[in-house]
Amino acid sequence: MTLFQSDRLRGIEKTLIRQVNDRANASSINLGLGELDFPTPAAILEGVATGVKSWPMGYTANAGLPELRDLIARRSGPGLTADNVCVTIGAEEAIFAVLMVLVNAGDEVLVPDPGFPAYESIVRMAGGTPVAYILPPDRGFTLDASELERRLTPRARAVIINSPHNPTGAVYTGEELRHLAALCRKHNLTVLSDEVYRAVIFEGRAESLSEHYERTVVVDSLSKTYAMTGWRLGWCVAHPELIRLLGTFNQLAISCPPAVCQRAAVLALEGAADEEMSRNMDELKRRRDLAVRCLKESTDLAFRVPRGAFYLWADVSARLSPSWTSLDLALELIERENVVVIPGAAFGRAAAGSIRLSFAASPADIEEGIHRLGRFLGRA
């Protein structure tokens, strides 16, 4: 143990997503980070520029501004009120807060594989034990309740799900969510449903587990839908008893989310940017279609067309060996072609034979980056 490191941080490092991106430079074509290249909507910037001259800028309630919590509640479903909402500094703090409040030492939390790598690390920091459940490729990486049930033990406390899904772009069906709800009801489990990509949907509608199961904690944010990553504004929607505890956690950890960011969220959720965001989503669908076409033309990699989020999940297992992993591939791609992709190893053990490419980048970067990937793999 080092002089400054506690036991809870032992083995905890930056995710591979960040480690790979740290190897890039300003000239790299970045198909790695999950960040839209759209600016913060102009209507929100203009509203903040005007409002900041008169808005109160002191502490807010620990759980957030009442008017913001009320807006989130009304968007989240019938019968919900501000008492069902806690505002956080981004979705990741919401996940951290929920697990810190919910999980006792030794509790098991089921996490998806493939899945966002921070889930496992945050479970460990909260004192819990992450247990991976597989999202089967032959089912399109969607939920299989029977696979999840096989991982349950008497120590299971909670399940984390994510739809639309990072990194695969899968969207869980209503039937799959109903099966999960029945399973969790049977075993008295709480579900943390990460829905930060729920509005980034290209076909149909993304259902929420909260429509089927009462012990769902929904996490969402402004980052993905409103292209407001740097504003660090998220929230969770849950039973009032849990929200009260989250407010206490916020008071001790962050005091409250920044007042100006909460005011910007009010503008966003009142609809100030709806027209601009609709155009952005149309553009994002065009970028998805461009990325699909380029990947087909420049490579022979197998992949599924994503229904949601903004990632392509491509199989590179035929290019790998025990001595040359998806991480090695990603690092060498940066070195030789100056292109950033994220190795599947970042998202779990079952995901190690794949790579994730983001089509949130500009069309020019998508086209050139995938062309260079094809050249690197020997096709372009």
pLDDT for the residue 28: 93
Q: pLDDT tier at 17 (50, 70, 90 boundaries)?
A: confident
61 within domain boundaries: yes
Domain end, chosen from 215, 247, 269, is at 269
The 8-class DSSP code of residue 318 comes to G
Closest CA relative to residue 71, chosen from 62, 80, 61, 58: 80
Lowest mean pLDDT among 37-41, 136-140, 222-226: 136-140
Are residue 198 and residue 283 in the same domain, yes or no? no
Nearest to 359, CA basis, from 304, 299, 302, 283: 283
Percent of the chain residues past pLDDT 90, beyond the cut: 88
Assess if residue 2 is contained within a domain: no
- My answer on whether 367 and 218 are in the same domain is no
Q: Are residues 59 and 35 in the same domain?
A: no
**Shared domain check, 366 and 295:** yes
Q: Are residues 255 and 123 in the same domain?
A: yes
pLDDT reported for residue 13: 78
Instruction: Write the pLDDT tens digit of every residue in 280-316.
Output: 999 999 999 999 999 999 999 999 999 999 999 999 9
Q: What does the alpha-carbon distance between residue 202 and residue 98 come to, in Å, rounded to a whole number?
A: 29
Those residues with Cβ within 8 angstroms of residue 253's Cβ, 6 or more apart along the chain or in another chain: 93, 97
Task: Please tell me the distance from the alpha carbon of residue 26 to that of residue 13, in angstroms, as a whole number.
Answer: 24
On the question of pLDDT at 1 being above 60, the answer is no
Whether residue 306 sits in one domain with residue 260: no
CATH at 186: 3.40.640.10
For 7, 10, 11, 104, 313, the CA distances from 1, given in Å and listed in that order, are 8, 8, 11, 23, 37
pTM, whole model, 2 decimals? 0.95
Q: Any idea what the CATH number is for the domain that residue 310 is in?
A: 3.90.1150.10
Residues 76 and 117 in one domain: yes
As a whole number, mean pLDDT of residues 58-72 equals: 98
Where does 254-313 have alpha helices with state H? 259-269, 274-298
DSSP line for 158-213: EEEEESSPTTT-----HHHHHHHHHHHHHHT-EEEEE-TTTT-BSSS----GGGT-
Query: Out of 8-12, 63-67, 180-184, 359-363, which region has the weakest mean confidence (pLDDT)?
Result: 8-12
Same domain (yes/no): 122, 51: yes
More reliable by pLDDT, 10 or 334? 334
Residue 2: pLDDT band with limits 50, 70, 90: low
Residue 1 is assigned to a structural domain of this protein: no
Clarify whether residues 48 and 25 are in a common domain.
no
pLDDT digits (tens, 9 = 90+) for 111-162: 999 999 999 999 999 999 999 999 998 888 999 999 999 999 999 999 999 9
Q: Which amino acid is at 45?
A: L
In 10 A of CB 102, how many CB atoms? 20
The answer to whether residue 346 is domain-embedded is yes
Tell me, what's the pLDDT at 74? 96
Please tell me the distance from the alpha carbon of residue 144 to that of residue 180, in angstroms, as a whole number.
Answer: 8
Structure tokens at 233: 């504004």
Confidence (pLDDT) at 379: 61
Q: Which of residues 269, 296, 329 is at a domain's end?
A: 269
Extended strands (E) in 49-197? 85-88, 108-113, 129-134, 156-162, 190-194
290, 359 in Cβ contact below 8 A? yes
Statement to judge: residues 204 and 228 lie in one domain: yes
Q: How far apart are CA 321 and CA 319, in angstroms?
A: 7
- Indicate the average pLDDT of the chain: 94
- How confident is the model over 20-38, as pLDDT tens digits? 888 888 899 999 988 999 9
CB 85 within 8 A of CB 66: no
Give pLDDT tens digits for 330-344.
Answer: 999 999 999 999 999
Evaluate if residue 177 carries a pLDDT over 60: yes
List CB contacts of 352: < 8 A, sequence separation 6 or more: 320, 325, 326, 343, 344, 345
pLDDT of residue 250: 97
Domain that holds residue 320: 7-40+275-377
Residue 42 has pLDDT above 80, yes or no: yes
Nearest to 163 by CA among 153, 175, 150: 175
Q: Which of 34, 38, 37 is nearest to 18 (CA)?
A: 34
Domain count, the chain: 2
Task: Let me know whether 212 and 93 are in one domain.
Answer: yes
Identify the domain boundary among 221, 252, 269: 269
pLDDT in tens, 66-125: 999 999 999 999 999 999 999 999 999 999 999 999 999 999 999 999 999 999 999 999
Whether 336 and 280 map to the same domain: the answer is yes
